[in-house]
Amino acid sequence: MSNSRAKYLFLMPGVCWILAFTLFPLVYSFGLSLTNYRLGKNPKYIGFENYAEILGIGDEKVDKKAVSTASFSAFLFLGSTAATLIFGTFVAWVFNHNLPFLRQMRAIITMPLFAAPIALGWLGVVLFNEQSGPINNVLEGLGLGRVNWFIEPMPARFAVMFTDVWQWTPFVFIVVLAAMQSVPDDLYESARLDTKSNWVLFRSITFPMIAPALGTVMLLRMVESLKIIDIPYSLTRGGPGSVTQTYVYYAYEKGLVGSFQLGEAAALAYLMVVVAIVVSSIYFYRVRERFA
């Protein structure tokens, strides 16, 4: 068999799979977003009317719920990304010391990362429970008073964020730790002649050396934070009201629950696809050299 034919035979099954099950659905979804499709009714082509309705273009009023859910997604996009980066980097700094037992503890820290988010939402229901949950008990024990996690909007938003941060901090941790461990030791040794301050060492050596990995992990976290749906689904059901409903959760509800307004839901989802394409383009622009 000739070399040139073999090389395509290796690649083709995977390419065909993605074409059939990712690209085709995306095109289909775009077509759907241009219709008023509802389950059980004949769809009609309506052009970009769904988009106009969501964004409030022309004589349409802006979809208030799209805006409010998008703002909660933005809250997670900023808050969850920032918090996981800060905590993850701190934990990585702690574990980047040559001390006994750290290696064993490291494995335990990565555990939340692989737990099903839908299950972690339920775990949150137990932990954040207003009456008997351990979090409120600890807060009360510390004299900070109890928090109505599921009744008040802001605490509910933070409950979702904390659960997500707890799950994803280990991800930042293992990536940043890998980056820290690749910093050559002699850099530190020569710098220690000038300073004893850990903070100066971190700021002048560690941070610049791990910055590329931090950038990578930040972009990945941003993308993942926009996809959050499982945790609010089981933790808060989007409530109280819809203050903890994320944008994708709203699209899911619109298209796949109740009235099944698939056309509008597809348009909602497609706006998110545009955001995802922008972020992933930045990501691959940064890392594609590695794939050559």
Partner 1 sequence: MAAETNSLPLTAPQSPKARASFGDRLIVALAIICTFIAFSPFAYAILTSFKSQWKDGSIIPFVQFEPDLQNWQTEFGSGGPETFKALRNSTLISLGATLVATTLGTLAGYGLARFKYGVGNRNLVSWFLSQRFLPPVATLIPFVLMFRDLKLLDTLPGMVIVNATFTLPFAVLIMRDYFADLPPEMREAALVDGAGEFTTFLRIALPLARPALVASTLICFAFAWNEFLFASVLANRDWKPYPMLVAGSDTVRGIDFGFVTTRMLIAVTAPVILSLMVQRFIVRGLTFGAVKG
If binding is defined by CB under 8 A, does position 6 make contact with partner 1? yes
Identity of the residue, 28 or 45, whose beta carbon is nearer to partner 1 in the bound complex: 28
Task: Name the segment binding partner 1 (CB under 8 A); options: 47-55, 58-66, 124-132, 148-156.
Answer: 124-132
Identity of the residue, 58 or 65, whose beta carbon is nearer to partner 1 in the bound complex: 65
Task: Name the segment binding partner 1 (CB under 8 A); options: 78-86, 148-156, 201-209, 260-268.
Answer: 260-268
If binding is defined by CB under 8 A, does position 256 make contact with partner 1? yes
- Other Cβ atoms less than 10 A from the Cβ of 56: the count is 14
Identity of the residue, 59 or 190, whose beta carbon is nearer to partner 1 in the bound complex: 190
Identity of the residue, 62 or 287, whose beta carbon is nearer to partner 1 in the bound complex: 287
If binding is defined by CB under 8 A, does position 127 make contact with partner 1? yes
CA dihedral 148, 152, 157, 162 (to 10 degrees): -10
Task: Name the segment binding partner 1 (CB under 8 A); options: 10-18, 46-54, 56-64, 74-82.
Answer: 10-18
If binding is defined by CB under 8 A, does position 188 make contact with partner 1? no
Residues pairing with 49 in the sheet: none
Long-range CB contacts (< 8 A, 24+ apart) of 162-166? Answer: 162/124, 163/120, 163/121, 163/123, 163/124, 163/231, 163/235, 164/76, 164/80, 164/117, 164/225, 164/228, 164/231, 165/80, 165/83, 165/84, 165/87, 166/112, 166/120
Selected binder of partner 1 within 86, 116, 151, 191 (CB under 8 A): 116
Least distance to partner 1, CB of residue 60, Å: 21
If binding is defined by CB under 8 A, does position 129 make contact with partner 1? yes
Selected binder of partner 1 within 132, 143, 184, 199 (CB under 8 A): 132
Q: Which of 220, 205, 234 is nearest to 286 (CA)?
A: 220
Q: Which residues contact 163 (CB under 8 A, 6 or more apart)?
A: 120, 121, 123, 124, 231, 235
If binding is defined by CB under 8 A, does position 202 make contact with partner 1? no
CA dihedral 125, 130, 131, 136 (to 10 degrees): 100
If binding is defined by CB under 8 A, does position 252 make contact with partner 1? yes
Selected binder of partner 1 within 62, 78, 86, 119 (CB under 8 A): 119
Whole-angstrom distance, CA of residue 205 vs CA of residue 172: 19
